[in-house]
Amino acid sequence: MKCPFCGSNRGYYQIERVHRALLFDFDGEPIGGSEDVTDYAGRRKQCIDCHKILPRKLFEEMMET
């Protein structure tokens, strides 16, 4: 499968925003962190190279085969 806009075959990405707590002792030394908690998970798929939003039908066709 290739990007219909730029022809790249590198793939796509989806945006996800997460947060975590960083833990420190009272001397300021790191002692760990919490698990990542997802604040936002996007459903749009975007080309790695041109960053354009890829059409849904591109993936619907892929799922049918």
pLDDT digits (tens, 9 = 90+) for 7-60: 999 999 999 999 999 999 999 999 999 999 999 999 999 999 999 999 999 888
User: Which residue matches tokens 């945006």?
Assistant: 15
Residue 29: partners with Cβ closer than 8 Å, 6 or more residues away:
none
Using pLDDT thresholds of 50, 70 and 90, give the confidence band for residue 2: very high
Q: Which own/partner pairs from 54-57 qualify as long-range (CB within 8 Å, at least 24 positions apart)?
A: 54/3, 54/4, 54/12, 55/4
Q: Report the alpha-carbon distance of residue 12 to residue 45 in Å, rounded.
A: 6
Q: Residue ranges per domain, the chain?
A: 12-64
Predicted pLDDT at 65: 59
